Amino acid sequence: MPVGSVARHRPPRRATALIGLILCTAACTSTSPAPAASPEPIDLSAPGFWTGVTHDQYSADSWFDAGSVAAARTVLTDDVQIQNQSLMGWGANSPEPSPGVYDWSSLDARMGLISQTNGTTVLTLCGAPDWMKGGTAGTTDWSLLEVAPTPEHYQDFADLAVAALERYPQVRYVQVWNEMKGFFDASTNTWDVAAYTALYNTVYDAIKAADPTVQVGGPYVVMDSWSSAAVASHPSAISGAWGVLDQRPLDVLTSWLQDAHGADFVVVDGWTGTKDEGVTTDPVTAAQKFAAVDTWLAEQTTLPIWWAELHVSGSDGAATTPEALDAALRAVFTTGARVALLWDPQHDDGETEPWLWTQVSAPGGGLRGPYDSVWKDWSTRSGSPSASP
């Protein structure tokens, strides 16, 4: 019962997001204890609205400049409630480079970062070891990070997820996979939602069997939009000054809601910009796209809505403004979303989306940026179902 021609023309992430943070040169079994758990996590099942961040390959990691790292960690502690980390990639090595051989070292470091800055931890179960997707055990080809595990290894991936949750008991919330990477079917020009849902159900069943209190969500599909229905291969009936939504992610959500074995929340992500022309109106108006998605989702399910990545773009490739970030957060808050996560809180060269601190690789880094005051304001008022920033 229900639970409550494009390949990837979205704005590209930096190439560094597609490789792991290489901390050791060979697979090894991690024998060190897991990092201490964070304080009592926020109850994200309760009514309210919370903000957070998703760590990318480089963050406030201990091996960078000590003073800069300390400054960035102060921002995390003061301004960020929820911190999300991927299982593999985006700052973490392969956690199981060979069957039964675990290397938790880099994921331990990220979990330690979250614990030390008092974050409520979210784990995105994305990134499968090479041997789960046709590669060679003991090796990692980072160019294949976005390849999904093959069906015969869905259970292996689910078992790895359970092993991670056993090592990190502070994780009470997991997102299954990321933007349906590896599940786009070029022959049909749409997402293979049946294959994704089969992976999701295998992971969901394994997690709930191990610990039914862990909250699980999906499908983490990108809510793409176009400048007009005329240029979209699959235009939906949902449109506004910001553009028109693509019908295919809506179909993914409809199918997943029908066929998932269960879910505790529904996950989406998206940009204020369109796939073909970027932001086609002013950045503040463009943020209403998020409100349109929330409104549609609320008509399909009573599950809490999570924005796994809230991308706020500027006009004509320019940097976005704090006002546009505020408008985006206001849009998802007023239409009932539960969680909004900012992708990559650290500023990088050429960055045009919101960020919270400057790079920490050299002295003088970790400084608050122009968007930090907006994020801090929302973080301060988050958690109340009736707050009206």
Is the model's pTM score more than 0.95? no
Q: What is the pLDDT of residue 10?
A: 34
Residue span of the structural domain in which 256 resides? 50-381
Does residue 215 sit within a domain? Answer: yes
- Residue 34, strand partner residues: none
pLDDT of residue 350: 87
Distance CA 205, CA 176 (A): 12
24 domain residue, yes or no: no
Q: What gap in Å lies between CA 88 and CA 86, rounded to an integer? A: 5
How many independent structural domains does the chain possess? 1
What pLDDT, in 10s, does the model give residues 182-229?
999 999 999 999 999 999 999 999 999 999 999 999 999 999 999 999
CATH number, domain at 267?
3.20.20.80
Q: Regarding beta strands 243-246 and 225-226, do their DSSP bridges make them parallel or antiparallel, or are they unpaired?
A: antiparallel
Q: Which of 342, 266, 331, 334 is nearest to 305 (CA)?
A: 266
> What percent of the chain has a predicted confidence (pLDDT) above 70?
89
Question: What's the average model confidence in pLDDT over 249-275?
Answer: 97
Structural domain contains residue 40: no
The phi, psi pair for 117, rounded to 5°, reads -110, 20
Question: Under a CB-based contact definition with an 8 Å cutoff, are residues 374 and 322 in contact?
Answer: yes
In a domain, 327, yes or no: yes
Classify residue 19: in a domain, yes or no: no
Instruction: Determine, yes or no, domain membership for 100.
Output: yes
- Is 174:161 a contact under the CB 8 Å cutoff? yes
- pLDDT digits 0-9 by tens, 62-117: 999 999 999 999 999 999 999 999 999 999 999 999 999 999 999 999 999 999 99
Residue 2 has pLDDT above 60, yes or no: no
Please classify residue 186 by burial: count the beta carbons closer than 10 Å to its beta carbon, then call 0-12 exposed, 13-18 middle and 19+ buried.
exposed
Tell me, yes or no, whether 36 lies in a domain: no
- Decide: 86 and 66 in contact? Cβ < 8 Å: no
- Using CB atoms within 10 A of its CB, is residue 389 exposed (0-12), middle (13-18) or buried (19+)? middle
User: Is 2 part of any domain?
Assistant: no
Asked whether residue 22 carries a pLDDT value surpassing 70, the answer given is: no
For the cut 70, the answer to whether the pLDDT of residue 29 exceeds it is no
Give just the sign of the alpha carbon dihedral 255, 258, 260, 266: positive
Comparing CA positions, the residue from 139, 53, 50, 44 lying closest to residue 91 is 53
Q: Where residue 37 falls among pLDDT bands split at 50, 70, 90?
A: low
According to DSSP, the residues that pair with 217 across neighbouring strands are 175, 265
